[in-house]
């Protein structure tokens, strides 16, 4: 069985690197990938050694969002809800991991890929990448709870504006609005680079404390309710004719 998600723990188990590994599909998130990611995140929740988790993609992309083959098809609203909920649960588990998390955005991200990045505490982006909450272009909204998380990461006015525009932005723009904490070249984003040294220098206790403080500072109960509502809303849009046409157009375009 191929591994669609890889987990690498560095020698002293200080850093866990979680890599989405479907580069030929731009690391689009299939149902199989969700299952594997879920198991890895559960393992990290139980972990008593790791100081830091980094989530990244196998080059050239970070993540193209939900795999439109798996999430599409002739399904009703309840089935759509059931499928979307699976990844919402994973995003929730990532959000509430007990250690700091970095979305190590090595390349482009679209749709659910941006939602995944929003579930991380910090985001480092590749200067050559392009990034967008493009769900609006597919006649849906964010469907895994990542739109709700976006409101927690940047100014609400800017989050609202981005979701409605559904536009694709540069790395520098992401830094300007505070979505990304740093913009780096591909070489700088190589692992074991000094970029993560500041984190590793801090003690386990410090990092776990700051993470706990970060989570306490958010109203998690309310956050979960807001994410649930987002999934519900998207599941209704998912079965619309407009969405089905938009997905069919994507695959037609790629056939040419």
Ligand X SMILES: CC[C@@H](C(=O)O)C(=O)SCCNC(=O)CCNC(=O)[C@H](O)C(C)(C)COP(=O)(O)OP(=O)(O)OC[C@H]1O[C@@H](n2cnc3c(N)ncnc32)[C@H](O)[C@@H]1OP(=O)(O)O
Nearer to ligand X, 25 or 175 (CB): 25
Q: Please say whether the beta carbons of 56 and 105 come within 8 A.
A: yes
Q: Binders of ligand X: how many residues, by CB under 6 A?
A: 23
Question: Which of 71, 92, 131, 184 is in the footprint of ligand X by CB under 6 A?
Answer: 71
Contact flag: residue 169 with ligand X (CB under 6 A): no
230/253 Cα distance (integer angstroms): 29
| Nearer CB in complex with ligand X: 207/231 | 231
Distances, alpha carbon 103 to alpha carbons 57, 124, 179, 180, in Å: 10, 6, 11, 9
The CA–CA distances, whole Å, from 211 to 36, 101, 155, 189, 202 equal 24, 9, 21, 23, 12
Our finding on whether 28 is near ligand X (CB under 6 A) is yes
In contact, 4 and 32? CB cutoff 8 Å: yes
**Shorter beta-carbon distance to ligand X: residue 90 or 108:** 108
* Integer CA distances (angstroms), 86 to 11, 30, 90, 146, 184, in order: 32, 11, 7, 13, 32
Cβ-based nearer residue to ligand X, 55 or 196: 55
Min separation Cβ 159 and ligand X, Å: 15
CB of 231 to ligand X, least distance (A): 9
What minimum distance in Å lies between the beta carbon of 148 and ligand X? 12
Site string for ligand X, 79-118 (x = CB under 6 A): -----------------------------x-xxx--x---
When computed from its CA atoms, the radius of gyration of the chain, rounded to whole angstroms, is: 17
Pairwise CA distance, residues 249 & 243, whole Å: 10
Cβ–Cβ < 8 Å for 151, 95: no
Considering only 57, 100, 103, 143, the residue that binds ligand X (CB under 6 A) is 143
Q: Does 25 bind ligand X (CB under 6 A)?
A: yes
In the complex, the residues that contact ligand X under the rule CB under 6 A are 25-26, 28, 64-69, 71, 108, 110-112, 115, 134-135, 138, 142-144, 250, 254
């Amino acid at each position: 069985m191929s591994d669609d998600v890889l987990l690498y723990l560095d020698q002293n188990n200080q850093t866990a690197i979680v890599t989405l590994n479907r580069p030929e599909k731009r690391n689009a998130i299939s149902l199989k990938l969700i299952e594997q990611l879920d198991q890895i995140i559960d393992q990290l929740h139980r972990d008593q050694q790791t100081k830091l988790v980094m989530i990244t993609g196998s080059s050239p992309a970070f993540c193209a969002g939900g795999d439109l083959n798996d999430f599409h098809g002739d399904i009703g609203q309840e089935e759509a809800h059931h499928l979307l909920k699976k990844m919402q649960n994973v995003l929730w588990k990532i959000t509430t991991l007990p250690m700091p998390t970095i979305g190590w955005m090595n390349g482009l991200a679209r749709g659910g890929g941006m939602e995944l990045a929003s579930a991380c505490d910090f985001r480092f982006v590749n200067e050559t990448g392009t990034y967008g909450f493009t769900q609006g272009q597919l006649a849906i909204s964010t469907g895994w709870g990542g739109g709700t998380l976006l409101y927690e990461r940047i100014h609400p006015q800017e989050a609202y504006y981005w979701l409605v525009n559904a536009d694709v932005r540069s790395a520098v723009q992401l830094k300007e609005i505070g979505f990304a904490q740093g913009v780096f070249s591909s070489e700088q984003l190589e692992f074991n680079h000094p970029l993560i040294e500041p984190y590793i220098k801090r003690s386990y206790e410090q990092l776990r404390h700051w993470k706990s403080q970060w989570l306490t500072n958010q109203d998690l109960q309310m956050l979960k309710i807001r994410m649930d509502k987002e999934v519900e809303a998207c599941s209704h849009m998912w079965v619309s004719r407009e969405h089905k046409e938009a997905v069919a157009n994507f695959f037609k375009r790629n056939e040419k």
